[in-house]
Amino acid sequence: MASISYLWSNRARFSFGNRNFYRAWGKRLFSFPELLKRNLRRLQLIRNGAIISPTAEIGKLKADGHKENLLIGSFTFIGRVYMALHDKIEIGERVCINDGVEILTASHDVSDPKWNHTKRKVVIDDYVWIGTGALILPGVHLGRGSVVGARAVVSKSVPPGAIVVGNPASPVFKTRPDQLDYNPCEFLATNRAWLIG
């Protein structure tokens, strides 16, 4: 969840004794254990060198490799995701990465007789949505507002606003609007308990 200090300072306030007061605090107390778990995950990654916004939502992220290679922007949601941090993974603001996604930054050169290890960074711009179970391969740049469909395998960069599906990922005819204005973290029940009540 968003950091406890962020949620506390931005919490919805209700008069003591008001029905909304009791309802909001009931929700907050009920969801507090999950809030603590997610904050501890964020703190552990930050202590190991990752740069993560205090408003980013970190689910059950398994990040192997050098944590200092990870950068996550504001109001970004990351579910149960695997990341191989051999090189940098730069994630912008208001990104949604669903459960089961894998992001790789290294592989082996199949044309090299010695099968040497190669690595390249992955860049995910603002407002990108990566669907459940997608695989993002080394060197991919997902442009602002692009969408990766569930189970897609992305080996090439995706332009802004494009929607790609399949294996290998290929564009569909539909694109997203140029002007995007949403926060994927607003939909989480724990955040709503604090920010709305």
- Domain residues for 169? 4-195
pLDDT band at 194 (very low <50, low <70, confident <90, very high): confident
Residue of 123, 121, 127, 96 whose CA lies nearest to 106 = 121
Q: Pick the range with the lowest mean pLDDT from 22-31, 87-96, 120-129.
A: 22-31
Q: How many CA atoms lie within 13 A of 8 on its CB side?
A: 5
**What is the pLDDT, as a whole number, of residue 138?**
96
Domain CATH number, residue 100: 2.160.10.10
Total domains, the chain: 1
**Hey, which bits of 45-189 come out as E strands?**
51-52, 57-58, 62-65, 70-72, 77-78, 82-85, 89-91, 96-97, 102-103, 106-108, 117-119, 122-124, 129-130, 135-136, 141-142, 147-148, 153-154, 162-165, 170-175
pLDDT one-digit tens code per residue, 14-52: 988 889 888 888 888 888 888 888 888 889 999 999 999
- Tell if the pTM clears 0.85, that is, is over it: yes
DSSP percent split of the chain into helix, strand, coil, nearest 5: 25, 25, 50
